[in-house]
Amino acid sequence: MGILSNLEPRHVWEHFENFCNIPHPSHHEEKIAEYIIAQAARHGYTTRKDKVGNVVVDVPATKGYEKSPIIVLQGHMDMVPVAAPGIVHDFLKDPIKVRIDGDFVKATGTTLGADNGIGGALMLGIMDDPNSEHGPIELFFTVNEESGMDGAHGTEAQFIKGRILINLDTEEWGEYYISCAGGGDSNIVMDISTTEHVCACKSGTIKIKVSGLRGGHSGIDINLGLASGNKVLARLLDSAWDTSEFHLKHIKGGNKRNSISDGAEALVCLEHGNAAGFRKAVKDAADILHSEFAKTEPNFSVEILDVEDSTPCVSIENTRKILDLLIALPHGVITMSPEVPGLVETSTNLGIMQSDATTFKTTMLTRSAVTSHLLSVKKQIRTIATLCGASVEEPRGYPGWKPDMDSPLLKIAMDVFQEKYGKKPAVKAIHAGLECGLFSEKLPGVDMLSIGPEMHFVHSPNEELNIPSVPKTYNLLCSIIKAVAERY
End-to-end distance of the chain based on CA atoms, in angstroms? Answer: 41
φ, ψ dihedrals at 53, nearest 5°: 110, 0
Please state the separation of Cα 54 from the chain's center in Å: 20
348-373 pLDDT per residue, tens: 999 999 999 899 999 999 999 888 99
Asked whether 180 and 433 are in contact (CB, 8 A), the reply is yes
Mean pLDDT, range 19-30, rounded to an integer? 98
Does the structure show a pLDDT above 80 at 201?
A: no
Catalytic residue among 14, 17, 78, 172: 78
Q: What letter represents residue 371's amino acid?
A: T
Does the structure show a pLDDT above 50 at 200?
A: no
The reply to whether 145 belongs to the active site is: yes
Catalytic residue among 14, 17, 29, 145: 145
Does the structure show a pLDDT above 80 at 196?
A: no
Does the structure show a pLDDT above 70 at 283?
A: yes
Domains for the chain: give ranges and CATH numbers.
10-181+400-487 (3.40.630.10), 184-393 (3.30.70.360)
- Of the two residues 408 and 429, the one the predictor is more confident about is 408
101-132 pLDDT per residue, tens: 999 999 999 999 999 999 999 999 999 999 99
Cβ atoms < 10 Å from Cβ of 239 = 17
Does the structure show a pLDDT above 90 at 7?
A: yes
The reply to whether 58 belongs to the active site is: no
Q: What is the pLDDT of residue 415?
A: 98
Q: What is the pLDDT of residue 198?
A: 53
Task: Give the helix/strand (H/E) hosting 30.
Answer: helix 30-43
209-221 pLDDT per residue, tens: 999 999 999 998 9
Q: Cβ neighbours of residue 150 under 8 Å, at least 6 residues apart?
A: 52, 143, 144
Mean pLDDT, range 290-297, rounded to an integer? 97
Mean pLDDT, range 271-283, rounded to an integer? 87
Whether the bond into 395 is cis, omega within 30 of 0 = no
Does the structure show a pLDDT above 60 at 422?
A: yes
